Amino acid sequence: MANEIVFSRNHIDNVKDLDVYVGNGGYSSLQKGLTMAPDELIELVKASGLRGRGGAGFPTGMKWSFVPKDTSKPHYLVCNADESEPGTFKDRQLMEVNPHQLLEGMILACHAIGAKTGFIYIRGEFVGPIQIVSRAIEQAYARGYLGKNIQGTGVDVDLAVHPGAGAYIWGEESALLNSLEGQRGLPRLKPPFPAVSGLYASPTIINNVETLANISHIVNNGADWFKQWGTERSAGTKVVSISGHVNRPGNYEVPLATPMMTLINEFAGGVRDGHKLKAVIPGGSSVPILPAEKCDINYDYESIQAAGSMLGSAGMIVMDETTCMVGVARNLVHFYRHESCGKCTPCREGTDWMFKILNELELTGGQMDDIDLLLDITDNMDGKCFCPLGDTSIMSVVSGIEHWRHEFEEHVRNGGCQQRAQNGH
């Protein structure tokens, strides 16, 4: 598997143990990276083409360069390990299997942005990863990989785990910062962006687990090594979480630009037996659904965008012909309605209204006008919500109606979902 191409350390037995990690070259990037000037490190990450793996795909080196240099305030690094996007489950495994890889990347990132303190904000339900990463931090302190004067380089870095408490919105970076500060986890108005005014109103970089897990490898092997995979705008490898109607769901690390059908048919073992592909959500629940005929593309940022969706957090949800697309939209909107923080009206009211209509369509059929009403509501939410949670909650509705409008109409004509009736729900 492609896992063997890059992060082979993920596949070393018990690599979460410090001795095993160090025995296989772990923490070797620190001597090199921590003796580089911070700007040099930022330029290296820029040159690698690494884009943030948390969803938005923002170039990591460029983000780091936004931290102001002329401030007396402390700088902070925050690792976003809140991972709650339906369909995405890669960060959990990265932390469970190889926690030191994350810590090593964070130490380097702290040096690059001039931070002496970093927090790992881990989804509260991830009890295992919280314990594993906390233990790894203890081990790293005991061996001098964390704390004062790391490995004699003169660099000081402290890291701490902060458990979340179970809300999807806390993955949104500004809500996460509020939660980390002990306030209600509601999103903040931007600008100012966190790089300028983040945690405790100080310059803060927030990066995803997978983003940070790439850093030590880039420092050890160089920017060109990383760029040997993928394309100009989608460099490196990507861990893709594949779930749904496939024979072998799981996390697969592949070079970006791997054909999407190869991901489904070879890595995930194909659509479950006897069934055929109907649709794919390529990047977590916040991106538009692609019909099967649009799935013959490469899995990279630009190809997926050209096909009408987004790579997002790389949670690929595969659906076969038995899937009711009204049911999919209802299910996903139910999630967003539950997770809406309620701060802004379009999201609070819109997710609730969409759910009520979808529920009627699914259970009793609703009315033909409901379909255009749904589109009208999504139009009043798109780009008008306070944060992207609301903006993206409409994706399954808009793409569902665009590609499978006939299914919505059939629900009205049939007085609800026929499949649901047949299954006795």
Which positions touch ligand FMN (CB under 6 A)? 52-56, 58, 63, 80, 82-85, 168-169, 171-173, 206-208, 211, 387-389
CA 143/CA 318 separation, integer angstroms? 44
> Closest CB to ligand FMN among 288 and 416?
288
Nearer to ligand FMN, 85 or 407 (CB): 85
The rounded distance, in Å, linking the Cα atoms of 238 and 31 is 26
Question: CA–CA distance from 73 to each of 64, 68, 115, 183, 197 (Å)?
Answer: 16, 10, 10, 21, 10
d(CA 194, CA 202): 8
Q: Which is nearer to ligand FMN, 173 or 362 (by Cβ)?
A: 173
Q: Which is nearer to ligand FMN, 63 or 188 (CB)?
A: 63
First-residue to last-residue Cα distance in the chain? 40
Minimum separation from the CB atom of position 116 to ligand FMN (A): 20
Closest separation in Å from C-beta 291 to ligand FMN: 25
* ω into 68 cis (within 30 of 0): no
CB of 311 to ligand FMN, least distance (A): 11
**Smallest distance from ligand FMN to CB 119, Å:** 13
At 99, which amino acid appears? P
172/362 with CB nearer ligand FMN: 172
Q: Which residues contact 349 (CB under 8 A, 6 or more apart)?
A: none
Collect all residues with Cβ–Cβ distance below 8 Å to 406 and sequence separation of at least 6: none
Q: Report the nearest approach of ligand FMN to the CB of residue 286 (Å).
A: 7
Q: Considering the complex, what minimum distance in angstroms separates the CB of residue 134 from ligand FMN?
A: 19
In one-letter notation, the amino acid at residue 78 is: V
Give dist(CA 231, CA 57) in Å, integer: 14
- Nearest approach in angstroms of CB 409 to ligand FMN is 31
Q: How far is the CB of 324 from ligand FMN (least distance, A)?
A: 26
Residues 400 and 353: beta-carbon distance below 8 Å: no
The CA distance from 398 to 414, in Å, is: 22
- Cβ nearer to ligand FMN, comparing 286 with 323: 286
Contact criterion met (CB below 8 Å) for 133 and 105: no
Comparison of 52 and 291: residue with beta carbon closer to ligand FMN: 52
Which residue's CB is nearer to ligand FMN, number 281 or number 361?
A: 281
Which residues fall within 8 angstroms of residue 59, CB to CB, at 6 or more apart? Answer: 46, 49, 50, 51, 52
Question: CB-side exposure of 389: number of CA atoms within 13 Å?
Answer: 35
* Residues 348, 299: Cα–Cα separation, whole Å: 33
Q: What is the largest CA-CA distance in the chain?
A: 73
Residue matched to tokens 């899995």: 299
Q: Which is nearer to ligand FMN, 56 or 261 (CB)?
A: 56
- Minimum distance of ligand FMN from residue 277's CB (angstroms): 27
